Amino acid sequence: MAAAEGPQARRPGLRERKKRQTTQRIWQAAVDLFVERGFDKVSVAEIAAAADVSKMTVFNYFGTKEDLVLRPMEEHLADAARAVRDRAPGESAVDALRRDLLGLIAERSPAVGLSDDRRALETLRLVLETPVLIKRAHDLQVRGQSLLADVLAEETGEQVLAQVAAAQLIGVRNAVCADVMRRRTAGEPTERIAADADRLARAAFDLLEKGLSDYAVKA
């Protein structure tokens, strides 16, 4: 069946808009409370009260307390796998992920830590300062790598080599993003960080594309 045409067909319905608004309100209330008092010292009941919803509503929208912080990161979990799966014929996995990461950097996307939004920056600090959130963020990175490996294995028929390639490809994105987040939370200007992130991403993918045989040869 053909998709409906016109502006109205592209707009989310009232129910979807309300759902998004409620999700945003709960997330904002949670981040504000966590920043003010610390992740471990805030209860879900207090977040519900601040967002003017029930405790059950919070859990309906966010499965765990950690999700209240890391949901934006989880929404980008499959980005790398999607970029590789949807790449054009003849385009390598390296080229697809290079293009994807450089695009996110150019857009100053919060997916790579470059948003100037106050809560986005506070969320970065909160994750870096909270061990349980660091662990959860790492788990999400591992899941993203696994999704990418599955796509590569499906194409190539070789699971082990797909895992090796996925680890290296995801490693570039993780390393660049970690540097961005460290410098953002230290208060460095976004434009300077973005310029360095672009340069480092290009160099890292070039290194990966050429292989590591000539890398760090001991004199």
CA 174 to chain centroid, in Å, comes to: 10
- Domain end, chosen from 24, 41, 63, is at 63
- Domain end, chosen from 63, 79, 101, is at 63
- Asked if 58 and 75 sit in the same domain, the reply is no
What integer pLDDT is reported at residue 1 of this predicted model?
Answer: 34
**At 145, which CATH number?**
1.10.357
Q: What is the enclosing helix (H) or strand (E) of 97?
A: helix 93-106
- Asked if 120 and 201 sit in the same domain, the reply is yes
- Asked if 48 and 110 sit in the same domain, the reply is no
Residue environment code for 158-193, b if the CB has 16+ CB neighbours within 10 A, otherwise e: eeeebbebbebbbebbbebbeebbebbbeeeebeeb
- Asked if 59 and 78 sit in the same domain, the reply is no
Residue environment code for 71-100, b if the CB has 16+ CB neighbours within 10 A, otherwise e: bebeebeebbbbbbbebeeeeebbbbbbeb
Total-model pTM: 0.84
Name every residue whose Cβ is closer than 8 Å to that of residue 130 and which is 6 or more positions away in sequence: 38, 39, 40, 69
Is residue 160 domain-resident?
yes
- Asked if 97 and 48 sit in the same domain, the reply is no
Is residue 217 domain-resident?
no
What integer pLDDT is reported at residue 8 of this predicted model?
Answer: 47
Residue given tokens 């948003």 in the structure block? 115
- Asked if 87 and 177 sit in the same domain, the reply is yes
Is residue 35 domain-resident?
yes
What integer pLDDT is reported at residue 5 of this predicted model?
Answer: 42
Is residue 94 domain-resident?
yes
What are the average pLDDT values for consecutive 10-residue runs of the chain, which has 219 residues?
A: 43 82 93 94 96 95 93 90 94 94 94 86 90 93 96 94 94 94 91 96 92 66
- Domain end, chosen from 63, 84, 99, is at 63
- What are 119's two structure tokens? 């809560």
Is residue 30 domain-resident?
yes
* Residues, the chain: 219
- Asked if 85 and 110 sit in the same domain, the reply is yes
* Longest Cα separation, the chain: 66
- Asked if 121 and 26 sit in the same domain, the reply is no
Is residue 120 domain-resident?
yes
- Asked if 167 and 95 sit in the same domain, the reply is yes
Name every residue whose Cβ is closer than 8 Å to that of residue 13 and which is 6 or more positions away in sequence: none
* Cα–Cα distance for residue pair 153/164, rounded to 1 Å: 11
List the domain range (segments joined by +) for residue 28: 14-63
* Cα–Cα distance for residue pair 81/92, rounded to 1 Å: 13
What integer pLDDT is reported at residue 7 of this predicted model?
Answer: 42
- Asked if 44 and 89 sit in the same domain, the reply is no
Is residue 5 domain-resident?
no
**At 27, which CATH number?**
1.10.10.60
Listed residue (127, 135, 137, 119) closest to 26, CA to CA: 119
Is residue 6 domain-resident?
no
- Asked if 130 and 37 sit in the same domain, the reply is no
SS3 172: helix
Total domain count, the chain: 2
What integer pLDDT is reported at residue 97 of this predicted model?
Answer: 95
- Asked if 175 and 75 sit in the same domain, the reply is yes
What integer pLDDT is reported at residue 13 of this predicted model?
Answer: 82
